Structure 1
């Protein structure tokens, strides 16, 4: 069964998340989308509602669904799946979860990945953060949630660039690069955001990791990142041992792991996500993005030394190199 991709849309107060969603929901290529609003209070989607009532699920123009969730996300997703399977609702192909502006995305991701229903029916497509270039510097200095939203994102959408100076935009881009050197940064204008600009593809990962060496962030917010690209096939047992050791070692300090791996005797690349010590069910892509079949891994940690992340990546890379060496010996 094909699982439904889910994107977590985050961003600090006033960053323009709802405005962005409103624009996307009006586009034909955003049909068949369920939007879960994880927000306490009203949200600015009223002008798109075509069906009112006390139901927590509302039909939107273009065939989309809006579901309001207070607290845990898993029950809202379960309700969507139940009603879609009972044909009370039209089927949907993707889900966007819009979080509160004051939310730390790490516990939300942890709650989803720990949920059995989520692992059965959904796959994490990525985290998108809306970044207000006019206010982000102050928000990041004063609010750890703003830093976490940027640090855990796969894609950073810089909003309000039309009313910001080029200097303001540049300083925000430099700050974001320190917080999260692996995320793709996109400048978006009001009402013009498109599906390709918004929706992170898993294949963002190899484009983000352009150099085959470690990249560590000296950001003083106690958030460290490291990434590595390396060759060689990884034996399943060696991968399992590495995952057990790394997750047990880092525990909740491992905010996020993203990996595209060449697992031995598997034709397709294997994609892994982990959040705060919890591993999401692996996903096999249909094909490699290139012929090199290179492994790519990103680790994002909090209150952990960068060298510990680098050492963990080096241990995994060593297993790939050992497999390559064994194959070379066998051919002689």
Structure 2
């Protein structure tokens, strides 16, 4: 599949009810860099209100998807909208927008949306997903993230997390919230957003999705700094799960993060065996997979990034960003046990499943 170098940057903005998405969006689109952004707002219910809260110089660049949740019933509408806007918002063959922002409902699970953006060939060729931005309400986050599956998944798939209402939360609560976020997603940067004001440079630099055509340095793209990796150099299957500091215990949640490193190079054949078994069998339980692999015979790493059963085009890089040559893998999973995952990794080590 040929990928155009002129793909339109697309941002997915999500976050639970009341977490400050619209406040952020208002600040976002007032910045000159986003003055020509086209906004797609998904609203749920017969009476739509959110689009009325977005400040625009013109209503022509707000597209409303209403009476259905974008993650389920209106996904077909989203594909049609993204396909149509290229000509609908063009004059004399020139588009009137240079970026697209999709704001989901507070109850949306972003995973199916991300899958749609990756799997639909026409959409993938037209739009480059820059990243998923998730807003988290610091005051209510501990309750929300412990009670609502959608909120957990919004955090788990994020490329950038913006903590809102931090001025209303005490230091102890803020610490607990950030720890909980780190358990769900150890690789996404967490920034404070004060009254919707955030460092727009972080949004403009957001390029954390595709290793192919990414201008982000590899170390930033992976952003593994806060993850704690376990060695995976022998038979990885254990009789009982061991705590890593990155894993939420089973009685607390079904969404877990597992981080591994492999010190010796792996073979290209082993990678193929691993992916051939992993994606069909466990893909629906993988919210996200990020891996940088040291492969025999390659001067640089192979970078893999997947969402559920779909992989972005694999990147083969010409050199390593630093002296660390270890393979590193991060899995954010839903209802997948450590034992199941580690068993699936056996082919990477030259072991039979």
Give the TM bin, normalised by the shorter chain: 0.7 to 0.9
2:187/2:227 contact within 8 Å kept: no
Residues 279-312 of structure 1 deviation map (CA, whole Å, 9 limit, x = unaligned): 2334567975435455432211111102332444
Residue 206 of structure 1 is matched in structure 2 by 223
Residue 48 of structure 1 is matched in structure 2 by 55
Aligned mates of 1:290, 1:30 — CA distance in 2 = 34
The secondary structure found in structure 2 opposite 1:299 is strand
1:10-21 paired onto structure 2 within 5 Å: 10-21=14-25
Residue 280 of structure 2 is matched in structure 1 by 248
Residue 328 of structure 1 is matched in structure 2 by none
Residue 87 of structure 1 is matched in structure 2 by 93
Q: Is 1:297 paired with 2:329? A: yes
Q: Is 1:69 paired with 2:65? A: yes
1:183/1:208 contact within 8 Å kept: no
1:301-312 paired onto structure 2 within 5 Å: 301-312=333-344
Aligned length: 307
Residue 139 of structure 1 is matched in structure 2 by 144
Q: Shift of the alpha carbon at 1:185?
A: 1.7
The secondary structure found in structure 2 opposite 1:182 is coil
Q: Which runs of 5+ in 2 are unaligned?
A: 67-73, 209-219, 232-243
Q: Shift of the alpha carbon at 1:251?
A: 3.1
Residues 209-247 of structure 1 deviation map (CA, whole Å, 9 limit, x = unaligned): 554426541242111211234456655444333211111
Q: Is 1:272 paired with 2:268? A: no
1:24/1:194 contact within 8 Å kept: no
- TM-score norm. by structure 1 comes to 0.79
Residues 101-136 of structure 1 deviation map (CA, whole Å, 9 limit, x = unaligned): 011112222222221112323333332210001112
Of 186, 193, 215, 1:188 maps to 193
1:230/1:296 contact within 8 Å kept: yes
1:11/1:130 contact within 8 Å kept: yes
The secondary structure found in structure 2 opposite 1:148 is helix
2:89/2:96 contact within 8 Å kept: yes
Residue 150 of structure 1 is matched in structure 2 by 155
CA distance 1:31–1:273, change in 2 (3 Å): farther
- TM-score norm. by structure 2 comes to 0.74
Aligned mates of 2:58, 2:29 — CA distance in 1 = 15
